[in-house]
Each structure stands twice: as C-alpha cells, then as structure tokens.
Amino acid sequence: MPIKLTKQEIMKEIVRCGKKPEYFIHTYAKITHPLKGLIPFHLYDFQEKLLEDFEDHRFNVILKARQLGISTITAAYVAWMMMFHREKNVLVIATKFSTASNLVKKVKAIIKNLPDWLKISTVDIDNRTSFVLSNGSQIKASSTSGDAGRSEALSLLVIDEAAHVEGLDELWMGLYPTLSTGGRCIALSTPNGVGNWFHKIYTESENKANDFYPTKLPWQAHPDRDVQWFEKETRNMSRREIAQELECNFNMSGETVFDPEDLAILQEKVKDPRYRTGFDRNLWIWEEYSAESTYLISADVARGDGKDYSVCLVFKLETMEIVAEYQGKCTPDIFSRVLHDVGQEYGNGLLVVENNSVGYAVLDKLKEMRYPNLYHSVKSTHEFVEEYQADQMSNAVVGFSTTSKTRPLIVAKMEEFVRNNLIKLYSSRLLGEMRTFIWNNGKAEAMRSYNDDLIMACAVACWVRDTALASNKRDLEYSRAFIGSITKTSSELDTRINGMVGTRNLKLTDEMNKQARANEQFPWLFKG
C-alpha cells in the first residue's frame, strides 16, 4: 500500500527530485523487466556516475557493451529533464527508426508510471513518433535523413547506436548548429570498427581533442558479471562479436574486409621507416636495394580530384615484403618521375601502374623516359605478357586494368595473402586504410571520407605476384622442359643465317653445350 504524503512532503519530494536526477530515478522511476514486469529502477554505481556526467558535461560519448542498461538510464535522464524543465526539446536518432522510437517509448513509460502526485506535467500529445508535455517539453524520434532536426533548436540530442549510423559525419554537421544555444548531446554505442564518426569522436575525446567527455563501459562494468558469465555468454559468439558486443574493442569489431585478428598481428610489426625522403618527404624506405633480391613496384594513380593520393609500394618478390612506400598528392608528370626514380633505385623492378584515365598519362611519361620494365597485360583475360610480346599483340595494354570485374579478384587475393601471413608490411598508413576498408552492400570499399589507394596498390601487387608472374613462371618451366627435350635428340639443330652478326661455330660436343645453344637460340622462351 503506497505511503500517503502531506502537501508539504509532496512539495519537498518534488523539489528534491528536480534537483537530483539520480534520486528521482532511483526512488520513483520504474522499468519493464522481461520476466518480472514493472519493477523499480535500482541504479548501479556506474549508472549513477553516468547521470553525474550528463549533468557535468554538455557532450557525452559512451562506448559500451550490450545489456548494461545504458539506453534505459539515458531514457530515465530524458524523462527527468522533460518533467522538471520547461520547453525542453529532445531529439532521438538511431541507425533504425525502430531503435530511436524504442528509446522514446521508454521515456513515455517512465513518465506514465510515476505516482500521480509527481506528474506535475501531463501528456498533451502522444503519437508513434513523439509526445509533448503540458510544460512545453517534447521528445521526438527521427530517422537519420539529411534533414533530421535541422530546422529546430535542440535542448538534447541523443544518438543511439551511433557507430552504426551511416553518414553521421554529414548529419552531425547539420545537427551541431541546433545545439548552439546550450544544447547537449549524448552519443552511445557498441563499437563498429574504426573510421566512423563514433570512433573518431570517442578517440578524439580521449585525447581531449573535442568537447565530448568519454566513458568506456565494457562487460566487466556490471558488478553482477564474472568470468563464468563471460564464458557462458561467449560460448557461441565469434571473436568479432565478442569484441563488438562485450569488450568495447574498436579494432577487433566491425565488418572490415580484413579480419581484425590479422590486423592485430600486423599492428605488432608496424615500425617507422629508416628514411623519409623524396621531394615531399612522403617516400618511406624501410630497406634499401639489394642485388640479391627481385623487386615489384605497384602504383595507384590519383583520379585528379584532390580527394585521393598517388601511391606506390615496393615489394621484394621472394618474400612479398614491402620495403618502400610513397603516398602523396602530385601531378601525373611529377608522379611519373617519382615512379621512374624509385624503379631505378630498386634495380628497374617490374613496374605495375593502374591504367585508368590519369594512369595512362603517367604510363606515357614513363615510356618517354624509357623505363625498361613496364607491366603489360591482355585486355580480356588480364594475363601478364612481356613487353616484347605485347608489341606484337593487338589486345595487349600497358599497365593493369582495375575494373568492376578485376577489383573483387585483387581484393580477395590481398585478403588471402594477409590471412595466410604471406605479406610483410610495416606501414602505419597502409594498415590505417585496412582498418577502414569495409563491406558495404557486398562491395569492398573505404569508409566514407577515407581512402583505399594503398590497399589497391597492394592488392594489384598480390594479384600480379600470385597469378600473372606465377603463370609466367609455369610457362617458363614448360618452355625449359621443351627445349631440354630438343637438346637430347641426336640430330643437330642449326638456325644460323650466314653473314649474321655474331654467327659462330655451334658444333655441340656434349650435353652442356647443347643446353647453352638452346638458350642462345630461343631467348624469347626464357626472357623474364
């Protein structure tokens, strides 16, 4: 039976609730338990600390595990704000409208289940998307369209599951001015990889690079959870799911193309280059040229819109170790000079250039500079061909063609190399791109506002190394076997033309001389 209060006691309780949201919530707020029904909202210490943060800081960003009641405590705070303050305008947005409206429903439920004497503001308007109190305070759920909340001044903006909201960077640019009159913001979410708005805001807040106050709440924040609970909960979960749902681990979460565990292994090998050189000091060198190694140089040329980079990677073919890397914004003629000089520095290694519209301009410059070892391929099959062969073929082109057909193939090849530890890299720039390279509707691409130029150069190199050059090696082995069979016959094969420069007596005396003669007679089979 509820305790009957006097008018004086009621007034004291109302004043106390208005001053202390934690008291109001702990004493009078009720929430719906899935098994127990309507129960009092008893706060844990970490939840009370959140309420203090909401009051002490205009902007709060909360990195959380699931099932900690963070959305519920946020809803309770919103209910308190609306009940005890006039004309507060609250907007809730989320990746799905259902998620945003669910938080609004929690606010409604808390207010409607208060004692009658505490309902100092009654509900005037109540519909699916919003409701308005008699004191002028209101709350609305909205989709994440570009116009969400732009036309109104906000007292509080709640962004639920912020890491999963697409295009939040642009949306925030439109929403931030609505908070200029003193409005507050609460952004809460489980992690969803790196590079998105939520990740940037949270990491920046940790470094005090923005106005947000950070709070991290992994599964251990709940006092009733222990190792046994964790083991039971994660029994049927993947490593990615554990990182995202329970551990608050940005790097291990998200739908990245490359497995987070593989990225974590690569992170351990990242190191500063030995030299930063070049005209813009953007050429990073970890290891200088060695005559004992063979080199492959893969280049991706910027489109020319100023948003991406021209890049190249230098690989040791034997180990697929990246020994040098360039990333810069420069004109095609300057980039062609960079490629020419890098190629010469590494023994005129095979130079693979993407032959997009700007790429052809770079390739033309390299031809003018007579770079001796440019990659050529067949248009239809994308198979590697030697330059001397390409000159005699109508369907051969210089460079590598990245198309809607070849892009998935080269990305898959790079993922295979990374997964099987077949590539060695030390670059923080390349690894950074790999962390923001995600699946978007089945397509592998960089997150919005991020680049994948180094990834594309690396992917092409993996493809060329494992397909084109491997195929060429097999052809070479077949050719050698063929020539070997010729030299084992008893008849003497003589293709000399009398008077030709270099003509000499080719009489064979033993098997070794036969093989040497074959090498001289059929250089086209052994070139490469």
For residue 134, the domain's CATH number is 3.40.50.300
Could you give the CA distance from residue 491 to residue 21 in angstroms, rounded to a whole number?
A: 102
**3-class DSSP assignment, residue 310:** strand
254, 283, 306: which is the final residue of a domain?
Answer: 254
**Residue-wise burial string across 168-198, b where 16 or more C-beta atoms lie within 10 A, e elsewhere:** beebbeebeebbeeebbbbbbbbbbbbbbbb
Question: Which CATH number goes with the domain that contains 345?
Answer: 3.30.420.240
Same domain, 45 and 150: yes
- Position 69 scores a pLDDT of 93
Q: Are residues 323 and 413 in the same domain?
A: yes
Q: Within a domain: residue 480?
A: no
42-80 pLDDT per residue, tens? 999 999 999 999 999 999 999 999 999 999 999 999 999
Let me know if residue 483 belongs to a domain.
no
Whole-number pLDDT of residue 394: 75
Residues 65 and 201 in one domain: yes
State the Cα–Cα distance between residues 10 and 202, nearest whole angstrom. 42
pLDDT tens digits, residue range 136-166? 999 999 877 645 555 579 999 999 999 988 8
Residue 299 covered by a domain: yes
Whether residue 355 sits in one domain with residue 249: no
Residue 479 lies in a domain: no
Non-local CB neighbours of 395 within 8 Å, separated by 6+ positions: 378, 379, 380
180-237 tens-digit pLDDT: 989 999 999 999 888 889 999 999 999 999 999 999 999 999 999 999 999 999 998 8
Domain presence at residue 420: yes
Percent of the chain exceeding pLDDT 90 equals 59
pLDDT of residue 283: 97
- The answer to whether residue 366 scores a pLDDT higher than 90 is yes
Q: Looking at the structure, do residues 158 and 70 belong to the same domain, yes or no?
A: yes
> Would you give the DSSP letter of residue 467?
I
d(CA 165, CA 184): 19
Q: How many domains does the chain have?
A: 3
Give the residue with greater pLDDT, 184 vs 435: 184
Q: Which of 254, 282, 302 corresponds to the end of one domain?
A: 254
- Supply the pLDDT for residue 475: 52
Indicate whether 248 and 299 sit together in one domain.
no
pLDDT the model gives residue 509: 38
Domain assignment present for residue 481? The answer is no
Query: Of 302, 329, 326, nearest to 314 (Cα)?
Result: 326
- Considering the domain architecture, whether residues 236 and 283 belong to the same structural domain is answered as no
Average pLDDT for the chain: 85
What pLDDT was estimated at residue 474? 53
Q: Give a yes or no: residue 381 inside a domain.
A: yes
pTM > 0.75: no
Q: Are residues 403 and 358 in the same domain?
A: yes
Lowest mean pLDDT among 177-186, 403-412, 438-447: 438-447
Q: β-pairing, 350-353 with 321-328? A: unpaired
Same domain as 157, residue 288: no
**Sheet with 384-385, side-by-side order of all strands:** 384-385, 376-378, 396-398
Output the DSSP codes for 368-428. HTT-S-B-EEETTT--EE-HHHHTT-TTEEESB---TTHHHHHHHHHHHHHHTT--B---H
Percent above pLDDT 70 for the chain? 85
pLDDT-derived band at 405, boundaries 50, 70, 90: confident
Which of 232, 254, 276 lies at the terminal end of a domain, its last residue? 254
pLDDT tens for 479-521 read 455 445 444 444 443 433 344 344 344 333 344 455 445 445 5
Is residue 233 in some structural domain? yes
390 with 516, same domain? no
The whole-angstrom separation of Cα 53 and Cα 372 is 65
Residues 203, 120, single domain; the answer is yes
Asked if residue 242 and residue 265 are part of one domain, the reply reads no
Question: In the numeric block, which tokens belong to residue 35?
Answer: 């098994």
Range of the structural domain that residue 344 is part of: 261-470
